Structure 1
Amino acid sequence: MPACPHVPGRVETDSDVAIIGAGSAGLSAALVLGRCLRRVLVLDGGPPRNAPSPAVQGFLTRDGTRPAHLLELGRAQLAAYASVEIKEARVVAVQVCGKHFELTLEGPTGRRSTRTARKVLLATGVEDELPPLDGVRELWGRGVLHCPYCHGWEVRDQPVAVYGRAKLVTGLALLVSRWSPDVVVCVEDPANLTRHARRRLRRQGIAVREEPVVRLEGTRGGELRHIVFETGEKLARTALFIHAHQHQRSPLAEELGCRLTSKGAIWVSKQQQTTVPGLYAAGDNTPGTQQAILAAAEGSRAAICINETLTREECPK
């Protein structure tokens, strides 16, 4: 591995880049940086957001691949790059130390250690906040879905439903109707569903159910069978789409003082740079459409920007 060029006044660090998160964004960034001969530490803090899903869809050359297998393939390809280390550890703190960072790690046994890096990439993802309905968590990822681009093809032409508050349910239902002619909206707050929204849904042949939903019934394998209303009536459906609220999976961005958007995403520039110098973010924790292939692309872009920034620092004018 080539030695890091010495620049007067710069503290030597354990790694050039520490990547927090080993999902599609983190592993993609590690691949690019490894090919740039950068010393990279990838910190894997646990299973990815899409772990309950049976497959990653719409990922070119990997359509239908199990989420765990996709990450296994990524790790295997990183093995060719000696400058990349993957470590199973949770990052409990990140401290800005002048022009570098100090990370406090906690391993599987609870033992803590520290590592230093010149740049840090947050690829920590988000967590979905599921509605408090019986059966939702058990069916999440198979019978209860969040993204028609990811799962619409699998339930095409089947009876589906969309559940949520009036503010969000109309647009999602209209989108889902691209995949199925049999869409029913179950609205949480029917009094807030405007006349205009009702008209748009009616024109598309989408029925609106205003009765409160009390639970979902499905199979042990996670397939949805019925939506059960407060009246006891059951509506047979193959899938239920929801627009789940989300929050940052890791508190690190907020603790470091990063600017967040109104929806709680980490604000980043076109170079994936946060408002904290030297700290980057990529993947579902940043604004925009969320898909594994897009997270991988963001990770790649962040890695290129990080490498070019490091190169400028090493080759001063």
Structure 2
Amino acid sequence: MKQKDFDVIIIGGSYSGLSASMSLGRSLRQVLVIDSGLPCNRQTPHSHNFITQDGEKPVVISAKAKLQVELYKTVQFYNGLAIRMQKIENGFEVSTESGEVFTSRKILFASGVKDLLPEIKGFAECWGISVLHCPYCHGYEVKNEKTAIIANGEMAFEYSKLISNWTKDLRLCTNGKSALTLEQTQILKEKGISIFEEEIDSFEHKDGYISNIVFKNQEKVEVKAIYARPPFEQHCSLPADLGCDINEQGLVKVDAMQKTNIPGIYASGDCTTQMRSVAIAVSTGSFAGAVINKDLIDEDF
């Protein structure tokens, strides 16, 4: 790649990064998108709750988006991993794993998060297929099915309330001793939600579609879907390395304009919000692109 200096470098070329790059490219900004090709939903067979794209495969949505963005000669793509970034006099310098160096006036992190999946046999294979994160994205497709929740404590209680909107055939697996209060336990039982405290050994499944939860005591519970919220970490460590504030949930902290606490650095998409969906990633990316362009205009006018 001959061009080395840009108006904006976007770290992450999935839905939010692509949306931002289109917004900026149409604003006549020289944009570089650096992407390593590992979106968190790469195993998910269908995307939902995104109008005009409901039911489409996530990989198809992103591929179509990239083809459209590539029509703008103002946007370039670099397949690789950004490993270092530093502030320089007129912006930022970004170094890649392969040794290339690029500079820009502004940085947008649209780098997403990495889910830290538990060591339950079958969990990784089912993740995004029948082990689900978001009922708004996937709940309709498993409505009224035999469903389990893997969670404990306050989160388990609130998650159970939420998922009961989509199915009443619900059981809660705390994967160890329950941390629910007596009152919460009583409420869940009154709602017909069974509570299993035995530790989980594995999932029986076929091609990611679960049929049974197997506990360590070899008891089995038949289910067609599971909801779980495993811990996660930032997919890219560079925001923290640069001093961007990370909130208590582990997300890059941004204001209403998608700005971090570091001047010239912005963030959008899954790395900034617990509301992880394609539609929200696209929305925040598009908005971040407009904000960055306006800031560049204000600086130059």
Structure 1 runs (4+) greater than 3 angstroms displaced? none
**Which residue identity is paired with 1:249?**
H
Residue 112 of structure 2: aligned partner? 125
Q: Distance in 2 between matches of 1:93 and 1:233?
A: 49
TM-score by length of 1: 0.91
Residue 301 of structure 1: aligned partner? 287
Q: Distance in 2 between matches of 1:104 and 1:230?
A: 47
Q: 2:23 aligns with which of 12, 29, 32?
A: 32
Residue 92 of structure 2: aligned partner? 101
Q: Distance in 2 between matches of 1:97 and 1:20?
A: 18
| SS of residue matched to 2:100 | strand
Q: 2:165 aligns with which of 156, 164, 178?
A: 178
Segment drifting more, 36-45 vs 184-193: 184-193
Aligned residues of 1:166 and 1:190 also touching (Cα < 8 A): no
For 1:79-228, list aligned pairs within 5 A: 79-106=70-97, 111-219=98-206, 221-228=207-214
CA deviations 1:165-184 (Å, max 9, x no partner) are 22321111221111111000
CA deviations 1:70-101 (Å, max 9, x no partner) are 11111111122111111112101111003300
Report the alpha carbon displacement of residue 67 of structure 1 after superposing the two structures with TM. 1.2
Report the alpha carbon displacement of residue 200 of structure 1 after superposing the two structures with TM. 2.6
CA deviations 1:233-266 (Å, max 9, x no partner) are 2111001111211110110011101111011111
Q: Distance in 2 between matches of 1:99 and 1:177?
A: 53
Q: Distance in 1 between matches of 2:149 and 2:106?
A: 42
Q: Distance in 1 between matches of 2:69 and 2:80?
A: 18
Q: Is there any run of 5+ residues in structure 1 with no aligned partner, and where? A: 1-12
Segment drifting more, 142-151 vs 291-300: 142-151
Report the alpha carbon displacement of residue 116 of structure 1 after superposing the two structures with TM. 0.6
| SS of residue matched to 2:279 | helix
Matching of residue 47 in structure 1 with residue 38 in structure 2: yes
Aligned residues of 2:176 and 2:198 also touching (Cα < 8 A): no
Matching of residue 78 in structure 1 with residue 69 in structure 2: yes
Q: Distance in 1 between matches of 2:48 and 2:183?
A: 34
Q: Distance in 2 between matches of 1:177 and 1:93?
A: 45
Q: CA RMSD in A?
A: 1.4
Aligned residues of 1:169 and 1:243 also touching (Cα < 8 A): no
Q: 1:15 aligns with which of 6, 18, 30?
A: 6
CA deviations 1:246-300 (Å, max 9, x no partner) are 1101100111011110111111111111111100000111134111110110101
**Which residue identity is paired with 2:80?**
A
Aligned residues of 1:133 and 1:216 also touching (Cα < 8 A): yes
Q: 1:260 aligns with which of 217, 238, 246?
A: 246
Segment drifting more, 64-73 vs 200-209: 200-209
Larger Rg: 1
The number of equivalent residue pairs is 299
**Which residue identity is paired with 2:138?**
H
TM-score by length of 2: 0.96
**Which residue identity is paired with 1:146?**
H
Aligned residues of 1:18 and 1:41 also touching (Cα < 8 A): yes
Q: Distance in 1 between matches of 2:191 and 2:89?
A: 58
Segment drifting more, 142-151 vs 16-25: 142-151
Residue 8 of structure 1: aligned partner? none
Q: Is there any run of 5+ residues in structure 2 with no aligned partner, and where? A: none
